[in-house]
Amino acid sequence: MSTHLVWFRSDLRTLDNPALYAAAAEGKVTALFLLTPEQWQQHGIAAKKISFLLRSVDCLSENLANLGIATRIVTGSCFNDAAEKVVSVAQEIGASRVFWNNEIALDEQRRDTQVQKALTANGIEVRRTEAATSLPVGAVRKPDGMPYSVFTPYKKRWISLSVDRGIQTLPVPDPQGPAVTAAVAPETINGVSKMAGADDWPAGESSALTLLDKFLDAAVENYATHRDLPSLSGTSKLSPHLAAGTVSANQCLRKAYRRNQERLVGGNESIDTWISELIWREFYNHIMAENPHLAMGRAFKTETDALPWNRDTEQLELWQRGETGFPFVDAGMRQLNRTGWMHNRLRMVTAQFLAKHLFIDWRLGESYFMSQLVDGDFAANNGGWQWSASTGTDAVPYFRIFNPIRQAERFDPDGAFVRSMIPELAGASAKQTLEPWKFGGVGSYPKPMIDLSAARDKTLQVWKATKKQLELR
Ligand X SMILES: Cc1cc2nc3c(=O)[nH]c(=O)nc-3n(C[C@H](O)[C@H](O)[C@H](O)COP(=O)(O)OP(=O)(O)OC[C@H]3O[C@@H](n4cnc5c(N)ncnc54)[C@H](O)[C@@H]3O)c2cc1C
Contacting residues toward ligand X, per CB under 6 A: 227, 235-239, 242-243, 277-278, 280-281, 284, 344, 347-348, 351, 369, 373, 375-377, 380-381, 383-385, 388
Residue whose CB is less far from ligand X, 112 or 377: 377
Least distance in angstroms from the C-beta of 263 to ligand X: 18
Q: How far is the CB of 387 from ligand X (least distance, A)?
A: 6
Q: CB nearer to ligand X: give 18 or 245.
A: 245
The CB-of-215 to ligand X minimum distance in angstroms stands at: 7
In one letter, which amino acid is 181? T
Identity of the residue numbered 230: P
102 or 235: whose CB is closer to ligand X? 235
Active-site pick, 277, 290, 424, 435: 277
Comparison of 384 and 404: residue with beta carbon closer to ligand X? 384
Q: What does each C-alpha distance from 76 to 84, 85, 95, 373 come to in angstroms? A: 9, 7, 20, 23
CB of 295 to ligand X, least distance (A): 14
- Between 96 and 344, whose beta carbon lies closer to ligand X? 344
Query: Which strand (E) or helix (H) includes residue 151?
Result: helix 151-165
Q: 3-state DSSP call for residue 35? A: strand
C-alpha to C-alpha distance for 343 and 236, rounded to whole angstroms: 11
Closest CA to 354 of 393, 423, 404: 404
How many Å apart are CA 264 and CA 146, to the nearest integer?
A: 24
Contact (Cβ atoms closer than 8 angstroms) between residue 412 and residue 418: yes
3-state secondary structure of 163: helix
CA distance 147 to 122: 36
Least Cβ distance, residue 348 to ligand X (angstroms) = 5
Nearer to ligand X, 362 or 445 (CB): 362
344 part of the active site? yes
277 is catalytic: yes
309 an active-site residue? yes
Please identify, using beta-carbon distances, which residue of 10 and 17 lies nearer to ligand X: 10
What residue number has its CB nearest to ligand X?
384
User: Is the distance from CB of 265 to CB of 256 less than 8 angstroms?
Assistant: no
DSSP β-ladder status, 192-193 and 70-75: unpaired
Smallest CA-to-CA distance from 15 within 149, 156, 209, 184 is with 209
Could you tell me how far CA 373 lies from the centroid of its own chain?
8
User: Per the residue annotation, which of 344, 409, 424, 435 is the catalytic one?
Assistant: 344
In terms of CB distance, is 129 or 367 closer to ligand X? Answer: 367
CB 388 within 8 A of CB 344: no
Distance in angstroms (rounded) separating the CA atoms of residues 273 and 404: 24
Find the shortest distance in angstroms from Cβ 371 to ligand X.
11
- The C-alpha atoms of residue 342 and residue 335 are separated, in whole angstroms, by 6
Q: Catalytic site residue 385?
A: yes
CB of 106 to ligand X, least distance (A): 16
DSSP 63-127: HHHHTT-EEEEEE--SGGGHHHHHHHHHHHTT-SEEEEE---SHHHHHHHHHHHHHHHHTT-EEE
- Would you say 417 and 409 are in contact if contact means Cβ atoms under 8 Å apart? no
Among the listed residues 158, 274, 385, 387, the single catalytic one is 385
Choice among 7, 158, 309, 319 that is catalytic? 309
Q: How far is the CB of 278 from ligand X (least distance, A)?
A: 5
Q: What is the DSSP letter of 360?
A: B
* 415 contacts 434 by C-beta, under 8 angstroms: yes
Catalytic residue among 274, 319, 362, 387: 362
Residue from 80, 125, 221, 280 carrying the catalytic annotation? 280
Burial class (CB in 10 A: 0-12, 13-18, 19+), 469: exposed
Of the pair 194, 227, the CB lying nearest ligand X is at 227
Helix axes 313-321 and 327-339, enclosed angle (nearest 10):
70
Nearest approach, Cβ of residue 329 and ligand X (Å): 13
In angstroms, how far is CA 177 from the centroid of its own chain? 36
Provide the annotated active-site residues: 277, 280, 309, 344, 362, 385
